[in-house]
Structure formats: structure tokens, C-alpha cells
Amino acid sequence: MPPLLEVSQLERRDAGRVRLAGVSFTVAQGEVVGLLGLNGAGKSTTLALIAGALAPSAGRVLLDGRDLATAPHALRACIGFLPEPPPLYPDFTVDEFLRFAARLRGMDRAAARTAATRVRERCGLAQVGRRLIGQLSKGYRQRVGLAQAIVHDPPLVLLDEPTAGLDPAQCREARELIAELGRERAVLFSSHLLDEVERVCTRVEVLHEGRPAGGFALRADGDSAGLEARFHALTGGAG
Amino acid sequence: MIAVVAARELRALFVSTVAWAWLAAGAGLVAWMVYAQLESYQRLAPRLGLADGAPGVTDLVALPGVQAAGLVGLLLAPLVGMRLFSDELRTGRIALLLSAPVSVTRLVLGKFLGAMGLFVALWAGVALLVASLALGTPLDAGKLAVALGGLLLLYAACVAAALWLSTMSSQPAAVAAATYGLLLLLWVIGQTADADSVLRAISLGFRFERLLSGVLHAEDVAYFVVLVATFLGLAVVRLEVLRAGTGVGSARWLPWTLALLILAAAGLGLRLAHRYGGAWDMSAGARHSLSPQSQAVADRLRAPLRFTVVAPDYGGLRAPVDQLLQRYLRAGLDAAVELVDPDIHPERARQLGARGPVELVVEYDGRTERVSAPSERSVTAALQRLALAGERWVVAVAGHGEADLIGQANFDLGELGAALTRAGFRPQPVEIATAGGIPDNAAMVVLAAPQAALLSGEEAALVAHLERGGSLLWLLSSDPAMDPPALARALGVQRLPGVVVDAAAAAVGADDPTVAVVSRYPDEPAVRNLSVLAVFPRAAALDVTPPAGWRGASLLQTGAQSWNETGPLRGELRVDAAAGERRGPLSLGWALSRSRAQAGEQRVVVVGDVDFLSNAVVGNAGNLDLGLNLVRWLTENDALLDIPPRAAPDLRFDPPRWARLLPAVFLFGVPVGCLAAGLGIRYVRRRR
């Protein structure tokens, strides 16, 4: 099966500096790939480039074999993206915001309403649908962010630090949700928490200072010590 | 997708208490302005009268309200617009928008239209407020519609400017400050600039105010469209740069090149609009355009014209003259306009012979006319004088106590003389004996009731003038002995004895029976267009037998209740046929004409009265009109007409009783309602 997402030689220059260069990897359907790296390694930039929020200076992003640069609108509709921090409108209620997010991804009014209701249940937001986002706790807000990323049922989900700011119980729920998403879709998420990556991911791509530092598959039984050692080896022992 | 983005923006505004508070403040401010203006208008209205171009409720109440609403927009736009993109940049939500399957152009348009929603609400309130004035007066709908359209365009331009600047910074306060700076600069930039300068062409204030003048310039509409398109285009470029990053090498200059191209396209658009844009006067009765009479005069001018306006650059002295001259330019007059500030160039102002604070000098074909109180009437009169080939002299026979065409005494004809001057003639008293005859360049000779008998030589000169084919207006004095007999013979004029008395005089309010009234005119060219009655004090009735070769027609007929009374004017008067008294209708005036040997027609008018044109009487009824029509016919200038004054249609303000509640609604109801809505929405949404 061809990979759903294929990234090749991705490069981003901004304000005269090279932020990211030579990043290549693939993510297949049913895979949960973790993007690992220290702060400033280029994880967020990579995700934003794949999502289309930023345009690459060089390299290509292929989704289902089609270049994101040639059919940006059709392909962006197939991507769910949770940036960090989550893009929320505090003056809106959860329902209003999810409906807006669905419509922004091209759904019509009725479909958006149904999708918002469905995703609200799925992300455990049923109780707070009519509350203002600004009044929600950090955990709920993160869930709203997650919900907006999958409201349009995209085959590829990009999550930037999805568990940032969550308490351990919420972290576990989020991990379960991500694992569940990974069963029928391709999920690429960034994190600097090794144990989280280890529990959820089938594969890992490591970035270091804007360059690819290697990638490897994780065994299903979980080998935390092995992951940590390899990560430190790839990032030159820092962190 | 534009609608989705716009709807979110609009929803964000209407769930925000602050936006409702802005709306309340804006609506309240405009309402206060309108009702304050209305109050002073109602005090002023009785004094405005029917002056030429008198402004009405639309001009003095509604338009200042629209102008105030424009300034409110100028103040609000930075506040509303500052968050449009800068908030998205600051919170990182921009990633959500840029990763959506929506083009940046649609994002920008959606945000723009959403923010416009608030301004459309404000605009609708203002429109409703000024339209409610129509309950009390027939507003000038066309003028008001142009102004309200201009207001919406101004709002769009302000919002677009704020939107663009909001893409430049993630700090809303910085965006607001920059937007204030930009808008104020654009507003005032053309204030002191010359008519043709680029600064005025790009000035927001100038364009907006011109749209309030009732004349719709395609150029002004194009300006606002170009301004909006430019700001939105720059915003799109900026967001694309954020997405693409500042590239390396030549790509680095791409956004700058694009921005320059947008500005160049904007400049080109403005230039084209200036070159090819039309202008339409939308005001009631097209009162900001030339009257047909002035247009006819303007059409007759062939060579290029030069207007020099001598007026200081303060106190709004220049603007009215400028607007007036614009009417002529819009009418297709080929003219250059020069402004001379007497404070800066006193020498030049002196050379031009300027005396008053505002003076207009018109140069045409080597000749010059001065107008010291420029109005359409005075400027058209000047153009008419210039248009007439050569000088048109009206020679008034003088030296025998005649009523004087430039005299100011009650019995003089100064008023008529002034009207003739306005119509392009030059009245000139001439003593025949001293001048050695009647000048043969006289368009017309006036013999107005000499108080002493003319010398035989003088009389002969008059007859010779007739024989040469000259025109004559002969107004008889009340003393039969003063009628020059040779002239009377030459024209076949005979005076009936006595003075005409008319019972109809009482009906028109004259307490003197010797005032004859003419209320209907025959279908003769000299009086054809007249419909107002004329009064003739102490007139003599005439019997005219046109000499061979002449065509004669009685122009002025009294009614059946008149006769020529020969007895003393005391007690009860009755017709005495034995004394030669005749029952009306009697003729008071005749027109005589015959073809000239050369081109045209020789024309003569004889009237058995001079007082009807005297300064004391000429203002009554239609006397002046009659006099001018007679002169026009005599000089074969039938086409020259006086310009009727044109006033606004909405001079009186008289609303129905229930409408007196409206000020309370607009001043308190609407603002309080807005505030209540804002607080209510906030309360409901926070409680859930």
C-alpha cells in the first residue's frame, strides 16, 4: 500500500535563515508516527508545512500521491491540524467553534452541525457544548483543539503537542483517542515526551536543529530505555 | 467560504459587548448631531427664504449628520479592524485559517465583509435617522442617496485600511495607532492642495465631501473602490508572505514587486477614472448644475475661457466659487481656472482689479468681465455679455428730464437698467444734441418720457434712426404736450385723451383707480411667454395706425371695466363719451415691426406709460419681466432669458405630531437598546 503522506526534502527558509532542510519521511494509513525533537528542532514547522499553513521553500508534500502545492485546497480539506497553542476563539461556545471549524473545512451547514455533535461526544465535550471556550479549563480547551482537528473526519491528522498542559488522567484519555484515530487514519504528532511517544506510536522520526536525525520503528511491547538511548544518540546526547 | 469567514467575524462582533457599545456611541453621536442641526435649522429657516440655491433640510441637517457619521466611522474603523488579523497572528490561530482549504483572498474578503457588517448596521441606523426627516419635509432623495452611498464607501475604505494594517503586526494597539495615522493623513492630505494636485486626488476627505455635494462623480466612486482593492490586495500579499516566508535571492523582492504593482495599478485606475469618469447631478431639480439658460449661454461660447478667482484661502470663501465654476466645467465649458490669494499675491490681485473679498475675473476672446458676488446668475450674465458679438449698447435719450436707465430715483428706470446689464446690455444715456445724433451701433434706443419738448433736430435724429432701421422703445409721459409729433406721425401713434382708470385695480389691491391692469397677453412674440399680470399707473391709451410697410399689434390690453377718464379724478367717475372717453378694452402698448433692407426685422414698442418700469413700480407684479421681454424682442435677443432662482425642495420642516417622539427614539432609545443588547448577550452567554 502506498503511504498516505510522503514528505521529501522539505526545506523552509525564512528571514534569511534555514529553519528546516532535507526532511523526508512517509506515514501510511493506520500508522501513528511520532515526530521527536528538542525545542526548536523544527517539529512545529514540519507540521505546519504539511498542513499548508506554511509553504515549503523547497521539497514536496505528497498526499495520496498528489502534490500539496498543485491542489492545495482539495488536499488541505483531507488534513486535520492541531497547532500549538490550540487555535481557539474564547468568545465562542464550543458548539459554535466546532461548527465554524467544520464549515471552514468545506462542510455545508447541516453536515457541520452533525459533525460537531459527533466530535463533541467523541472528545468528551458533551457537557460543555454551550459554554464559552474562554471559560473552560486548559484540559477542555486542548480537547476542543483536538476536536476541531478531526471534526471533518480527515484521513491525515497532524497534532502538535496534543497533550501539552494536560493532567495525567487527561493525558491518558488523549493517548487513547490518538491510538483510536491511528487505527483508521494516518496520525503524525509531535512531542518531546518520550514515554508518550513510546506508548502510542508505531514509528518515530527524530529531528535535530532543523535536520532529520533518523527514524525507527517501535516494537509493540514497548522498550522505553531503548527509545531514550536511541533518541539521545540521534540528538547528540543533548537534553 | 467567504460567507463562513464573514459570518464568524460578524458573530464575534455581535457577541462582543464592546462592539455594541461602539454602535451605541456612534448612533447616539450622529443622532445628537442631526437633532442639534435640526433645531438651529428651524430657527434659521424663515430667514432663508427663496434665495438663489437656498439650502434645505437635506443640506443643513441630513448631510451634516452623514458627515458626522463619516467621522464616527473614521474613529471606529481602527478599533474594529485592529483585531482582524493581528489577533489571529498573536494567538497562532492564523495556522487554523491558513491550513483551511480556503484561499488567502477569500479569507481577506471574508474578514473584510464580516467587519463591514458592524458598519452596515451603523450605516443603516444613520440612513433610517436621516430618512425619518422625510416625515416633515420632502427630502432631496437623490442628493441624500449619493451621500449615503459615499458614507458606505468611506466605511469600506476605513475598514480595508485597518484590515491591511492588522496583517502587519500582532499588536492590536499598534495596528489601531497606525490605522488612525494613515486615515487621518489620507483625510487631511488634500485640504490645502490645489484643484489639480495629486494630493487632493488621493484625499479621503476631499472625495467624501464631494460625494456630499449631490453630484455623483464616477471618479470618486472609483477612488473608494480602488482604495479598498489596494488595501485588500496588500493584505493578501502580506499573508502570502507570512505563509511562504521571505525567500532568498530574487524571490525576496517578489512581495515588494507585487506591492508596487498593486500601487501602480491603483494609480493607473485613479488616472483613468479621472480622465474618463462622468459626473451626474443627482440633486432635486438638478440644482447643482447649470440651468438650461446658463447652459445655452455656455454653449454659445466658442473660444477657451479663463476664470481667475481672487479669494483668500480661509473662511471657506473659495469653496462656493469653486463649486459654482465646477458647474460650468461639467457643462462642457472649455475653461481654465486659476486661484489667486490676495494675501500672498496682493500685486496680482490689484492688477486684476479685485475690490471685494471674493472676485471672479472672466476672460474671453480678449475681453474681460468682473463679477464681485459670484452666483450662477451673475456669472452667466458675464458670460452672456462676453458671448454677445461686440458691445450691445442701449442708448437712452437724455437731456430733457427723461427717466434715467441708470438713475436711482423713484421715477427712474435704474432697476430695469440693472437687469439689462445682467442680461448683457450696456445702458448709455446720450444727449442727441451734444453727441451729434444717435450712434449707429445702438442695439436699441429708449425714449422714456421726456419732461421737456425735444428740439426739432433731436426729433429728426430719432426719425432718421427709425428710417435707418433702428429699434425704439418709446415710453410716453403723462403730459401729451411732450410727445414728439414727428415721431408720432412716423409711427402712426395717437394718444387718447385723459388717463386710463380701471375698476380692476381695486381687485389687485391698488387703491388708486388710475392703475390700469393687464392680465392677459396676446399671442405676440414680444409677450408670448408672459403669464403674470402687469400694472400701469397713470397710463394713456393709444390708438395706432401702422404706417405703410409696418405690421402693428396691440400688446397690452386693459379689461372691459376701464376707460380713459378726462375729467378730474374726484368723486364718482363715469364714462363720458362726449368728452372722447372710450370704454375698454383699451390698448396701452403696441408693437410695430417691418423687415429691414438688410438682415432681420426692425422693431418698435410704444407704451402709453413710463411709470410701469420706474424703480417705484417695476418690482410689482410681472412688470420687470414684461420690460425685459420687450427689450429682448426689440433687440432680437428673444433667446436671452433671466435665470429663475432654484431653491432646495425641503425648506419647510413640519413633521406629524407622533413623529416628535423620534428624537427620543434615536437619541436615547437606539443607544440604550444597543447597550442593553450587548450586556444581555454577554450575560446570557456567560451564564450557560
Cα distance between residue B31 and residue A55, in whole Å:
50
Q: Do A13 and B686 touch (CB under 8 A)?
A: no
State the pTM of this model. 0.74
Cα distance between residue B675 and residue B26, in whole Å:
12
Residues A2 and A70 placed together within one structural domain of the fold: yes
pLDDT of residue A239: 43
pLDDT of residue B66: 96
Look at residues B337, B224, B334 and name the one whose alpha carbon lies nearest to residue B277.
B224
Any domain includes B642: no
Residues A63 and A91 placed together within one structural domain of the fold: no
A interface with B, Cβ–Cβ < 8 A, is 12-16, 48, 51-55, 57, 72-77, 79, 81, 83-85, 87-89, 91-93, 96, 100-101, 103-106, 130-132, 135, 148
Give the range among A91-105, B394-408, B557-571, B626-640 with minimum mean pLDDT: B626-640
pLDDT of residue B529: 65
Instruction: Please state the rounded mean pLDDT for residues B389-415.
Output: 85
Any domain includes A232: yes
Cα distance between residue B447 and residue B424, in whole Å:
20
Q: B447-475: per-residue pLDDT in tens?
A: 999 988 888 888 899 999 888 888 999 99
Q: Do B95 and A48 touch (CB under 8 A)?
A: yes
DSSP B293-361: HHHHHHHH--S-EEEEEE--SSTT-HHHHHHHHHHHHHTT--EEEEEE-TTT-HHHHHHTT--SSSEEE
pLDDT of residue B114: 96
Asked if B53 contacts B379 with a C-beta cutoff of 8 angstroms, the reply is no
Instruction: Please state the rounded mean pLDDT for residues B500-510.
Output: 82
Any domain includes B650: no
Any domain includes B522: yes
pLDDT of residue A198: 84
Domain ranges, residue A211: 1-78+156-161+188-239
Query: Which amino acid, B145?
Result: A
Give Cα separations from A80 to B239, B243, B522 (angstroms).
21, 18, 92
Q: How close does chain A come to B3, measured CA to CA in Å? A: 10
Choosing from B385, B406, B424, the residue where a domain stops is B385
Residues B237 and B365 placed together within one structural domain of the fold: no
Phi then psi for residue A152, to 5 deg, are: -100, 15
What is the total count of domains within chain B?
3
Residues A62 and A115 placed together within one structural domain of the fold: no
Among partner residues B12, B96, B245, which is closest to A14 by beta-carbon distance? B245
Asked if A156 contacts A78 with a C-beta cutoff of 8 angstroms, the reply is yes
Residues B374 and B460 placed together within one structural domain of the fold: no
Residues B293 and B257 placed together within one structural domain of the fold: no
What is the total count of domains within chain A?
2
Phi then psi for residue B136, to 5 deg, are: -110, -10
Give Cα separations from B210 to A135, B63, B75, B204, B348 (angstroms).
49, 12, 20, 10, 30
pLDDT of residue B644 exceeding 70: no
Residues B668 and B576 placed together within one structural domain of the fold: no
Interaxial angle between packed helices B63-81 and B204-211, expressed in degrees from 0 to 180 and rounded to the nearest 10: 140
Residues B24 and B113 placed together within one structural domain of the fold: yes
The CATH number of the domain where A54 resides is what?
A: 3.40.50.300
**Strand ranges in chain A using DSSP code E only, listed in sequence order:** 5-14, 17-27, 32-36, 58-63, 66-67, 79-82, 156-160, 186-191, 203-208, 211-217
Any domain includes B99: yes
pLDDT of residue B498 exceeding 70: yes
Would you call B146 helix, strand, or coil by DSSP? helix
Residues A2 and A72 placed together within one structural domain of the fold: yes
The CATH number of the domain where B292 resides is what?
A: 3.40.30.10
Residues B461 and B557 placed together within one structural domain of the fold: yes
* Max avg pLDDT among B190-194, B413-417, B571-575: B413-417
| Mean pLDDT value across chain B | 87
Share of chain B above pLDDT 70, in %: 93
Give the range among A174-188, B95-109, B217-231, B637-651 with minimum mean pLDDT: B637-651
Instruction: Please state the rounded mean pLDDT for residues B113-124.
Output: 96
Cis amide prior to B585 (ω within 30 degrees): yes
Per-residue pLDDT of chain A (239 residues; tens, 9 = 90+): 678 999 999 999 887 788 899 999 999 999 999 999 888 889 999 999 999 999 998 999 999 999 998 988 999 999 999 998 899 999 999 999 999 999 999 999 999 999 999 999 988 899 999 999 999 998 899 999 999 999 999 999 999 999 887 888 888 888 888 988 888 899 999 987 888 888 888 899 999 999 998 888 886 555 556 778 888 888 876 54
Place of cell 458573530: B11
B173 burial type by CB count under 10 A (0-12 exposed, 13-18 middle, 19+ buried): exposed
Q: Do B96 and A83 touch (CB under 8 A)?
A: yes
Residues B308 and B258 placed together within one structural domain of the fold: no
Q: Is B241 in the A-facing interface, judged by CB distances under 8 Å?
A: no
Among partner residues A55, A105, A135, which is closest to B101 by beta-carbon distance? A105
pLDDT of residue B194: 67
Any domain includes B69: yes
Q: Do A13 and B248 touch (CB under 8 A)?
A: yes
Of B422 and B499, the one with more pLDDT: B499
Cα angle vertex B297, ends B293, B299, to 5°?
A: 115
Q: Is B2 in the A-facing interface, judged by CB distances under 8 Å?
A: no
Instruction: Please state the rounded mean pLDDT for residues B513-542.
Output: 85
Give Cα separations from B290 to B237, B281, B379 (angstroms).
46, 10, 11
Q: Do B245 and A15 touch (CB under 8 A)?
A: yes
Instruction: Please state the rounded mean pLDDT for residues B682-687.
Output: 91
Among partner residues A84, A91, A100, which is closest to B16 by beta-carbon distance? A91
**Confidence band, pLDDT 50/70/90 cuts, at residue B478:** confident
Q: B309-347: per-residue pLDDT in tens?
A: 888 877 667 777 888 888 888 888 888 888 888 888 888
Any domain includes A94: yes
Look at residues B543, B569, B562 and name the one whose alpha carbon lies nearest to residue B554.
B543
Give the range among A174-183, B32-41, B385-394 with minimum mean pLDDT: B385-394
Domain ranges, residue B140: 2-49+58-285+663-687
C-alpha cell at B358: 471674493
Of A194 and B96, the one with more pLDDT: B96
pLDDT of residue B109: 97
Asked if A196 contacts A36 with a C-beta cutoff of 8 angstroms, the reply is no
pLDDT of residue B152: 97
**Is ipTM strictly over 0.85?**
yes
**Confidence band, pLDDT 50/70/90 cuts, at residue B640:** very low
Instruction: Please state the rounded mean pLDDT for residues B414-431.
Output: 82
Residues A201 and A215 placed together within one structural domain of the fold: yes
Q: Do A84 and B102 touch (CB under 8 A)?
A: no
pLDDT of residue B69 exceeding 90: yes
Q: Do B685 and A76 touch (CB under 8 A)?
A: no
